[in-house]
Amino acid sequence: MADQENDHTQEESAAADQQSDSKSERLRISVETRALEINLFWQRSLFFWGFTIAAGAGFLETYTKGSGIALVISCFGMVCTFAWSLVNRGSKYWQENWENKAEAAAVDVLGGSLFGNPAPIHSRRLLGAKRFSVSHLTTALSDFVFVGWFFAVIYQLWLILTSDQPHWATSDWLRIAFGVFSIIYLGYMFFSAKRFEVSTVRIYKDRKAAEIDRDALQAAGVQAQLQDVHTFRHRIILTVMKRDLQCAEELLGRDSKPAGLIDKGVSPYHDGGEGVENAGCAHARSTTDGGPDVV
């Protein structure tokens, strides 16, 4: 009897250690990926700064000479800086996404917040430390540069439209068409680049195991994708649409875990959804019970 109790105690201890290791691994991955997103934020900013400076130099050179190419270059600068603004916001979104995951894991592992409640720093000097968001300032700068390029395009279009020429040349028509197309293209970039919110279902260290679960979800009608995270240790994340998170957890919530599984982590953005009928789950149950196969 005592041996059975000892075995039971050892099993509980091993299970607790395994769960603790899983939470610690989740915390480590979240912190590393957050650091990666911050690094990528500045790399992308440098990339767009190169295009912006080149466009600015080309615009000044052609505009001072009265060349019609100045409008084309200003349209290029406008589109680049608009993309820069969107990229900054996208980078900030994913940084905060992993920061929230790290905070949730830190509560379990460390018993408190990891990034919140910063130590107060009192500095009354003009150049002393102040609590400003560096990423927000960078985004504000990209917005300001975009507005400058936008008005440069509008001003040059206005010069063409209000010119005293009785008939526009073919080059004028082409420049007007390109300017209008560039402005319309901004709307296309904004709406086409927006992504639906996704939630993390599982994190893997083995691609084969991740592909097995992804194929199982897709066969059940759930949109599932794999995302490679190149941190210090390469990881593969299985994501689904936020509305399908509950369904995916139900389909993958089996007792036998696939080889290579690290963690089953629920995104902190998940807002529930209990009691909501999910077509993917309903379809999966019908196929499991001998219903029609998925085409």
pLDDT per residue as tens digits for the range 231-285: 546 677 888 877 778 788 888 874 444 444 544 443 333 333 332 233 345 544 4
Q: Are residues 160 and 264 in the same domain?
A: no
Integer CA distances (angstroms), 239 to 3, 168, 231, in order: 44, 54, 17
Greatest distance between any 2 Cα atoms in the chain = 105
Residues of the chain with pLDDT under 50: 232, 254-260, 262-280, 283-295
| Residue 126 domain-assigned (yes or no) | no
Q: Are residues 32 and 109 in the same domain?
A: yes
Domain boundary among 193, 209, 228: 193
Specify the pLDDT at position 205: 77
Q: Are residues 279 and 163 in the same domain?
A: no
Q: Are residues 106 and 218 in the same domain?
A: no
Specify the pLDDT at position 226: 82
Specify the pLDDT at position 280: 44
| Residue 81 domain-assigned (yes or no) | yes
- Of 250, 254, 246, 263, nearest to 210 (Cα)? 263
* Amino acid letter, residue 288: T
- What's the token pair of residue 248? 């995916």
Q: Are residues 109 and 144 in the same domain?
A: yes
Domain boundary among 193, 214, 238: 193
Specify the pLDDT at position 246: 79
Query: How many other C-beta atoms can be found within 10 angstroms of the C-beta atom of residue 99?
Result: 20
State how far the Cα of 102 lies from the Cα of 34, in Å rounded to an integer.
8
Look up the domain containing 106 and give its range.
Answer: 8-113+134-193
- Point out which residues pair with 136 in neighbouring strands: none
Contact 213, 238 (CB under 8 A): yes
Residue written as tokens 């820069």?
84
| Residue 122 domain-assigned (yes or no) | no
Integer CA distances (angstroms), 192 to 45, 121, 242, 244, in order: 21, 42, 19, 22
State how far the Cα of 115 lies from the Cα of 233, in Å rounded to an integer.
22
Half-sphere exposure for 247 (CA within 13 Å, toward CB)? 25
Instruction: Please tell me the total count of domains within the chain.
Output: 2
Helices (H), the chain: 2-64, 69-109, 134-161, 170-193, 207-219, 245-252, 279-288
Specify the pLDDT at position 76: 95
- Residue 197, helix vs strand vs coil: coil
Phi first, then psi, for residue 132 (nearest 5°) are -115, 150
Specify the pLDDT at position 195: 64
| Residue 118 domain-assigned (yes or no) | no
Specify the pLDDT at position 268: 33
Q: Are residues 92 and 163 in the same domain?
A: yes
